[in-house]
Chain A
Amino acid sequence: MFEFAIFFFFAAVAVIFALVVVLHHNPVVGALSLVASFFALAVMYVLLEAPFLAALQVIVYAGAIMVLFLFVIMLLNLQHQPEEPTRPVQQFLGYTSSATFLIGLVYYIVKYAAFTALPAGPFNSDAGLIGAEIFQAYIFPFEMVSILLLAAIVGALLLSSRSVGARAQ
């Protein structure tokens, strides 16, 4: 029962802050709400017996990626730029199509994926097991991801520095 209370509280937190991200006009408020939403998702990972991923969620997502977002928003000084409202047709189509999509998704989850059988026993997923699996079975994808991250860093530096140079000329 206590577990359910925690689940519904943090599910409500995640959904409300996600709505703030989508509906608020100020991107700084949006980015901070997204951090709150990611913290609530980290609680979900703890409830799902994946504490290592919960730690990664807080450190990598709420820590590193969202700091990058906030840094760019504040660097570009966007909070004073009013966003033009989208056309009513686009808003109507966006809201109705995403609501239809949500209804369809929930319908199919309830119809086909409502597991009556709970998972048997506790799920042991500590960092040691995940690390062993990554460095044995998934060693090639792991190395590919490290090369991809390096390429992304070089690409990001090139993109942003060239634009600064072009502006100075």
Chain B
Amino acid sequence: MIPTHWFLILSAVLFAIGVCGVLTRKNGITIFMSIELMVNAVNLTFVAYARQFHQLHGLIFVFFVMAIAAAEAAVGLAIFISLFHHRETIDVDEANLMHW
């Protein structure tokens, strides 16, 4: 049986990769995929702790996180489609209408 902290370290690595993607990329869809990566890293942590403490609540929370991620993906991608139709690009630096 694999100790829980290996899963936690894998989850930390995936989360840091996601943070790196959000901070360094300009393509809106790539930033969005990095956010999905971070959500999945957190899900892995939930499942690892659920097994460690024999609690079903962690697994149910992962279920809800997946549903929220689906809703978030639908709305976010609709926003990017709308942005593309207005600006012909999904570079997030171009979406600066409310910039000072």
Contact = CB atoms under 8 A, between A and B. Distances in A.
A127 to B, nearest CB: 10
Measured as residues with beta carbon below 8 angstroms from the partner, the interface class of chain A is 35 or more
B10 A11 contact: yes
Nearest to B2: A7
A152 B75 contact: yes
A98 B23 contact: yes
Interface residues of B, number: 72
Contacts of A113: 4-5, 8
Contact of A95 (B24, B52, B66, B69): B24
Interface string A57-92: 100110011001100110110100101101000110
A93 B19 CA distance: 12
B1 A118 contact: yes
Q: Which of B1, B17, B57 has the most CB of A within 10 A?
A: B17
A102 B30 contact: no
Contacts of B26: 83-84, 86
Interface of B: 1-10, 12-21, 23-27, 29-30, 32-34, 36-37, 40, 43-44, 47-48, 50-54, 56-57, 59-60, 62-64, 66-75, 77-82, 84-86, 89-91, 93
Interface of A: 3-4, 7, 11, 14-15, 18-19, 21-22, 27, 30-31, 34, 37-38, 41, 44-45, 47-50, 52-53, 56-57, 60-61, 64-65, 68-69, 72-73, 75-76, 78, 81, 83-84, 86, 90-91, 93-95, 97-99, 101-102, 105-106, 109-110, 113-115, 118-121, 123, 125, 129-130, 133-134, 138, 141, 145, 148-149, 151-153, 155-157, 159-160, 162-164, 166-167
